[in-house]
A and B are shown apart, each in its own frame.
Chain A
Amino acid sequence: MPVRTNKSIGSGHAALGALVVLRRALARAAVHKVFLNHIRPIRLRLAVHPTLILNIPLKRSLPFNFSPIAEFYLFIYLLIIIFLTFFSIPPIPLELTLAESRQFRPSLPSLPPTPTSQSSLSGRGSPRSTMAQPFVKKDDDRDEEEEYSPFLGIEKGAVLQEARVFNDPQLDARRCSQVITKLLYLLNQGETFTKIEATEVFFAVTKLFQSKDTGLRRMVYLMIKELSPCADEVIIVTSSLMKDMNSKTDMYRANAIRVLCRITDGTLLTQIERYLKQAIVDKNPVVASAALVSGIHLLQTSPEIVKRWSNEVQEAVQSRAALVQFHALALLHQIRQNDRLAVSKLVTSLTRGTVRSPLAQCLLIRYTSQVIRESNVNNQTGDRPFFDFLEACLRHKAEMVIFEAARAITELSGVTSRELTPAITVLQLFLSSSKPVLRFAAVRTLNKVAMTHPLAVTNCNIDMESLISDQNRSIATLAITTLLKTGNESSVDRLMKQITSFMSDIADEFKVVVVDAIRSLCLKFPLKYRSLMNFLSNILREEGGFEYKKAIVDSIVILIRDIPDAKERPKTSDPGKYIRYIYNRVILENATVRAAAVSTLAKFGSMVDSLKVRDRATLYLDALDGENSIDKSEEDVKEFLFGSLDIPLINLETSLRNYEASEEPFNIASVPREVKSQPLVEKKAQGKKPTGLGAPAAGPTPVVDAYEKLLSSIPEFLTFGKLFKSSAPVELTEAETEYSVNVVKHIYDGHIVFQYNCTNTIPEQMLENVTVFVDASEAEEFTEIASKPLRSLPYDSPGQTFVAFEKPAGVPAVGKFSNLLKFIVKEVDPATGEAEEEGVEDEYQLEDLEIVAADYMLKVGVSNFRNAWESMGEDNERVDEYGLGVRENLAEAVNAVISILGMQPCEGTEVVPSNSRSHTCLLSGVFIDNVRVLVRLSFGIDGPKQVAMKLAVRSDDMSVSDTIHDIVANN
């Protein structure tokens, strides 16, 4: 019935048209809740069968017929819906509609995976989970047809079934290509084939060599590479590929070479070597390139074979085809990279000739700068070989080449400003390029130059300032950090203003870079500490992750350490600013912080002539101490708050232990002030000072300070300058001998003082006029200049005698000293405790004493070794390797080196996990003359327990880096 059919088709179209209108209405404008209720059954259907509506091309008719009555009702139904849609419904936001409509968008990657693919594609989860907000930019007019994926519902099992068409006697090339595409899609989606599946597919694919269809053949080549068959399977395709390799069709040859080289192993390579050599000089550049690139890859696995091709490769370097020349140059350089002369010859010949491709030109520039690095500057003219070539490349037409040349020039060692200028000019031009890649490359290079030659970059500062607002945050950050390096003192404030607005819209990782740069700037211009510290404290209050905050706090701590003025103390001009914060801590924090805040407030109270502050401080003192405080003068308060504890804690502790509770109060004056032989150096102790005030003492008193105080009380040593280091006491006697003596080595720039701590352990003896006679014949650079005897040494009351030596200033002189204790001994009456008048001269041999290099090294840790290492730069780096011989284990070797160098291990790297075969240890310290030194030690131990060590040293001074190596080498 033709009429019926027409009607049916017509109504089918009507229904379909209405559905499309309906969907567009959904997507375009507005939907009402009522409407949603109406439409839900249809939407459900859509969601259950997305293919039903969306995957059928619209031009087709619906695959079902409606009865006339049903047609009529459906039509009325739809009319009502459309009416409701357009006339009676308040709109709801478009975004929601779109978001909802996306739920049944059938594009494959966004559909939930099918059960089979879900298990095998689990590795793909992350992109989905990390996927950012979907970009809502779909245009409404796009046909759904466009959104449907040709791979919808693809399943590995089904595709493997389909792959059986490869075995058909009558191959359908088109079909086979489609199946291969599906296989490629599966592989690219992270699908894996089991061994058996892969083998089956591989064998099936090899059958396709029978087809003459070129498109299919190209796919076959790709598929074989993707499947990377194992050795026993390779043999199946070898003959087919060998045949193609000798084919008359050039493209078969080229592709066969690429596939063979990808899947081949050494043994097969010797069989095909002859063909490959021919291919390198093939007149077809595609074939030649295929062979050359294969060579580059094969050089990794079979270098000895590829090296035999150098004549052919040499010939290919002269090729007229640009790409062949590029590939040949890369391969030839790799073959000869260990032969300096050959590389130099290659560069010489090519810099004179013509290089056709910009890529090859870039390679040539790299090789040239390598040759320049290895050759010397002409002493007479001051010219560098090949510099003219690099400079000429700055005028090349390809941007890539210009950049490469500019970079090569900036990286030349010891580059002069005359050499730098043309390169910087070129880079400056690129700063205002419209292409972000060029801007990035330019600012990155200038950033590097700024580290070594900040003055050379200052010309570009204006261009760089405009990059602070660059949309690309990487470029903006690089610009900022470069400006921070090149800026002068007067531009700091302006720069800080610009950075403040910039900081709020960059990610933490960039902020950390900026904070590091600001720290370096502040160290460079200490006078600007106020605005820079303000900036740091402001950004500390902003939102940010842990790493970022840590970087800020580390920077502030470093600045306070290195710039004394930056430490805000009670003498600050605006104490009120701090008091408010500190007072808040008193109210808000836990006990430890409250205690610190209270002490700090007390300091302010004592120092600042401000009623408010003083009142609070008085309140504090009163609250703690009550009436007693009234008797105390201001001097006492000051002494209490700021005076350091000048009594060795150990002595105080001993006296307190010996004190027996009685009527008589403990008198602190009775505590001996002489330092006893305890290894207290560099340990900080906290203690309470039991004065009448009875409040906690102001802070820690390092024992080093006690030494300093002791030494400065001796007039002979006053001219020696600042004490650099005091060693830990070294015992010069055995335990439990009559006289116990140890020595502390005090290091000054041009002097050394030995402090002999002596203890008399014989109750019946009193020693007088105690000195140490030092024989310095094995310490040639030292001259004795002073000796301070100890007047008397009663039983069990330690005393000190000193000997001072002069040495060349700033030089880490070493030597060995033998020591003889000389004294007058007097008998003591045990009953009265009094010594006889007459005494006898006596002497006592002590152990020898050495001054070693480690004595000139101060253990100073760094909070972040990596940052410190990188900020110190490579300029004064020296790296060398040492054999440490046979050692029990790595820990022994590590400890030995640490003690030789006397440096501070950082980040817990002194601990070697048991049974490790390798270990890296990071050390930090300050060498005499206040030179910062960082050391990176890499240890390895082999089977017979031979230990090898790589020592990398960076310091502020190259000669110190060398000295550290000498120390290790001589020990």
Chain B
Amino acid sequence: MLLAVLFSNTEGNILIERFHGVPAEERLHWRSFLVKLGADNLKGAKNEELFVASHKSVYIVYTVLGDVCIYVVGKDEYDELALAEVIFVVTSSVKDACGKPPTERLFLDKYGKICLCMDEIVWKGMLENTDKDRIKRMIRLKPPTDV
């Protein structure tokens, strides 16, 4: 299960979050945990440089893209490798939607588009689409080119 996908700015404020199968009362804890993890490690990181951590049986892969920190959390079959795949799709779609690694402003400008991308990528805790071009077309309700 892909437990969470979370976007925050570099100061730790949440921009988008999607939790799946995480009880509401635990979300606050996860939010704080992830933001702290980012604050401790993402300083000075390169764009899309992947970071990995595990917390009990849960895996976390996170990165920074422009001014936005991206965290994905998973367990069971969504181990660090699967999560790396997920975060790759997420970052490439965000880059695609924004045209470049986004500033916070640019990210918020493209907020709607990014929400749609996320809707195509993750569905209730499962990875659904993995190809950015396909996602780019699908959020405009255009069939993928390979059809």
Chain A residues near B (Cβ < 8 Å): 107-110, 123-124, 126-128, 130-135, 137, 142, 145-151, 177-178, 180-181, 184-185, 188-190, 214-215, 217-219, 222, 225, 249-252, 255, 258, 262, 284-286, 289, 293, 296-297, 321, 323, 327, 359, 362, 366, 399-400, 403-404, 435-438, 440-441, 444, 472, 474-475
Contacts and interface: CB of A to CB of B under 8 A. Distances in A.
**Most chain B beta-carbon contacts within 10 A, residue among A109, A178, A219:** A109
Given A109-B13, A133-B39, A289-B128, A126 B108 contact: no
Given A127-B14, A134-B11, A251-B142, A150 B129 contact: no
B14 A109 contact: yes
A251 B138 contact: yes
B115 A181 contact: yes
Contacts of A145: 105
Contacts of A251: 138, 141-143
A132 B32 CA distance: 10
Contacts of A249: 141
Interface string B19-61: 0000000001001100110111101100001111110000001
B75 to A, nearest CB: 14
A127 B35 contact: yes
Contact of A177 (B32, B50, B112, B141): B112
A215 B140 contact: yes
Contact of A130 (B35, B77, B147): B35
B99 to A, nearest CB: 14
Interface of B: 8-17, 28, 31-32, 35-36, 38-41, 43-44, 49-54, 61, 77, 79-85, 103-106, 108-109, 111-112, 115-116, 119, 123-124, 126-130, 138-144, 146-147
B50 A184 contact: no
Q: Which of A107, A180, A289 has the most CB of B within 10 A?
A: A107
Contacts of A404: 81
A94 to B, nearest CB: 17
Contact of B12 (A123, A127, A262): A127
A88 B26 CA distance: 56
B90 to A, nearest CB: 14
A687 to B, nearest CB: 48
Contacts of B10: 134-135, 137
The 7 closest A-B pairs by CB, nearest first: A132-B39, A109-B13, A181-B112, A131-B12, A214-B141, A251-B141, A130-B32
A350 to B, nearest CB: 17
A275 B116 CA distance: 25
A219 B116 contact: yes
Nearest to B9: A109
A290 to B, nearest CB: 8
A849 to B, nearest CB: 49
A148 B14 contact: no
B54 A293 contact: no
Given A127-B35, A222-B116, A150 B111 contact: yes
Given A131-B13, A137-B10, A444-B54, 16 more contacts: A110-B11, A127-B35, A128-B12, A132-B39, A134-B11, A146-B103, A188-B17, A215-B141, A249-B141, A285-B146, A293-B123, A293-B126, A293-B128, A297-B126, A436-B50, A437-B84
Secondary structure type dominating chain B contacts: mixed
User: Residue among A133, A178, A218, A437 with the most chain B CB within 10 A?
Assistant: A437
B59 to A, nearest CB: 9
B138 A189 contact: no
Nearest to A478: B54
A285 B54 CA distance: 35
Contacts of B16: 188
B109 to A, nearest CB: 6
B81 A400 contact: yes
B81 A403 contact: yes
Contacts of A258: 123
Q: Which among B16, B38, B44, B81 has the greatest number of chain A C-beta atoms within 10 A? A: B81
Nearest to B54: A474
Given A130-B35, A131-B11, A284-B147, A472 B105 contact: no
B137 to A, nearest CB: 9
A511 to B, nearest CB: 16
B141 A252 contact: yes
Contacts of A130: 12, 32, 35-36
Contact of A123 (B28, B81, B104, B112): B28
Given A400-B81, A474-B53, A184 B143 contact: no
A440 B50 CA distance: 11
Contact of B115 (A184, A190, A255, A359): A184
B130 A399 contact: no
B51 A472 contact: yes
B147 A250 contact: yes
Contacts of B108: 108, 149-151, 185
A215 B105 CA distance: 22
A127 B32 CA distance: 5
Nearest to A249: B141
B80 to A, nearest CB: 5
